[in-house]
Amino acid sequence: MTSRKEIEAWNEVDATENIPKLPGQGGRRRAPFYKVLQGMPIAVDAFRYGAIPGITAYFLTHAHSDHYTSLSSSWKNGPVYCSEVTANLVIHMLSVDPKWVHPLPMDTPTVIPDTGGVAVTLIEANHCPGSCLLLFEGPQTVHAGDSAFKSPFVGSSKMFRYLHCGDFRASPRHVSHPAIKRKPLDHIYMDTTYLNPKYIFPPQAQVIDACAELAKRIAAGKFSPQARTLVVVGTYSIGKERIVKAVAQALQTKVYCDPRKAAILRCQSDQQLDDLITSDPLEGGVHLLPLGLVASDKLESYVQRFKGTFSRVVGFRPTGWTFTPPPGSNSSVAIQTIISRCQGYSFTYNDLRPSQKSSYDVQVFGVPYSEHSSFLELTCFAISCDWAKIIPTVNVEHKGTRVKMAQWIERWAAEKKRGSTYVIQPRTDDYW
């Protein structure tokens, strides 16, 4: 797609925002062009658009509600492909008829039936359990979807390679994955949630260690058999399990959550997690609660219920926004400067501060934990991969935001061109 064609395609998206329903198709919404792989009969995270013209394979990247909207027990528009954990989750949570759900193996190219020979490889996305990146390889065979754009390559023998990121937290493991390393990618469909230099937050591994260390220090401060510290971690959907596991292991305790949540956790086929779960709130020194309950006033009454076992409570509220970036990470700064500034900074338990309303008995900590890539990670990922075009899939509703994102994508392209051998040194295997 040329730049002009791409602008037309985005304009089409803007126009259909105002006329969302298609007449005579059961009130179906028009699928934006980026929901359908160019020239392939494949849609990704596009269930809300119903039976999309020409689509024979519907992919789901992970089991978060904004990605599976309209996938339910009444789904009948075609086969749904996803990872095994995501398959367990949608069958359990959404009662999708298992006859439609096709779990695929990880890291193994698999040819998808009725797609003209397209093969897909699922790669761990580093987002929530079961989440994956999808690498598609194959020819363009069809004008599918609702867009007026017609690719000139349909019917040609040219092979295309598209990487769909779903939601992801980019890591050096992605760019060194054999399916991605040194492979020219025609399109990257990118999770651009934090494609803005104001979104600089620390690596997950550092944040997880900080939470575990802080919990350990607080618990050790006033430990006696009569007075234990309860640690509460807030989550509202699947995800953030890594914090829970690390804190429970640091405190050598079990994890309590309600039976509904426990059943969802058991869908994740994570033996380590399964072994930690208990149905007894007094046995679990870590409780998993909805995020809304992790506030000083609510935790005060919550811990009262377990008086005699727990005398104080520490709450962790994981969000992506509680971190103030180091000064100077703005748009006028050179990309290499942003990278070295970010890499020069480490996050420890000392950086976790109790909220203003905290008291000795009830302490709540905002945790800058995100399962989406930071601006640094998007930048390192983009500079380390070989791509022709990046298509944003998040924050695309406003033209102003799209223009700003496009400018960063251009800067990444220029950076790649400037030094084809320029490789960013990751700090560990897990993060840059």
- Rg of the chain's alpha carbons, rounded to an integer? 23
Nearest distance in Å: CB 195, Zn ion? 16
Query: Among residue numbers 47 through 86, which ones bind Zn ion (CB under 5 A)?
Result: 64
Member of 124, 137, 146, 167 binding Zn ion (CB under 5 A): 167
Q: Which stretch binds Zn ion (CB under 5 A): 93-101, 164-172, 244-252, 389-397?
A: 164-172
Cβ–Cβ < 8 Å for 41, 53: no
Q: What angle do CA 363, 367, 369 make, to 5 degrees?
A: 155
Nearest distance in Å: CB 129, Zn ion? 11
Tell me the HSE value of 57 on the side-chain side, using a 13 A CA sphere: 23
Nearest distance in Å: CB 309, Zn ion? 35
Q: Which is nearer to Zn ion, 223 or 236 (CB)?
A: 236
The tokens 């869908």 sit on which residue?
267
Number of amino acids touching Zn ion (CB under 5 A): 2
* Strand extents, DSSP E, 191-338: 228-235, 254-256, 277-278, 284-290, 310-319
Tell me the HSE value of 417 on the side-chain side, using a 13 A CA sphere: 7
Q: Which is nearer to Zn ion, 35 or 64 (CB)?
A: 64
Q: Which stretch binds Zn ion (CB under 5 A): 16-24, 76-84, 161-169, 298-306?
A: 161-169
Nearest distance in Å: CB 283, Zn ion? 31
Give SS3 for 296: helix
Cβ–Cβ < 8 Å for 79, 100: yes
Q: Which is nearer to Zn ion, 28 or 64 (CB)?
A: 64
Q: Which stretch binds Zn ion (CB under 5 A): 135-143, 167-175, 357-365, 378-386?
A: 167-175
d(C-alpha 185, C-alpha 183), whole Å: 6
Q: Residues with Cβ < 8 Å from 59, sequence gap 6 or more?
A: 42, 43, 44, 45, 80, 81, 82, 120, 134, 164
Q: Which stretch binds Zn ion (CB under 5 A): 21-29, 48-56, 165-173, 319-327?
A: 165-173
Binding string to Zn ion for residues 261 to 300, with x set by CB under 5 A, is what?
----------------------------------------
Nearest distance in Å: CB 341, Zn ion? 28
* Phi and psi angles of residue 231, each rounded to the nearest 5 degrees, phi first: -105, 130
Query: Among residue numbers 358 through 397, which ones bind Zn ion (CB under 5 A)?
Result: none
Q: Is 164 in the site for Zn ion (CB under 5 A)?
A: no
Q: Which stretch binds Zn ion (CB under 5 A): 136-144, 162-170, 181-189, 423-431?
A: 162-170
Residue 107: left (phi > 0), alpha (psi -120 to 50), or beta? left
Nearest distance in Å: CB 371, Zn ion? 7
Nearest distance in Å: CB 131, Zn ion? 7
d(C-alpha 400, C-alpha 57), whole Å: 33
Q: Which is nearer to Zn ion, 65 or 74 (CB)?
A: 65
Nearest distance in Å: CB 396, Zn ion? 16
The tokens 């990444």 sit on which residue?
412
d(C-alpha 380, C-alpha 299), whole Å: 39
Nearest distance in Å: CB 36, Zn ion? 20
Q: Which is nearer to Zn ion, 170 or 338 (CB)?
A: 170
Amino acid at 178: P
Q: Which is nearer to Zn ion, 396 or 413 (CB)?
A: 396
The contact set with Zn ion (CB under 5 A) reads 64, 167
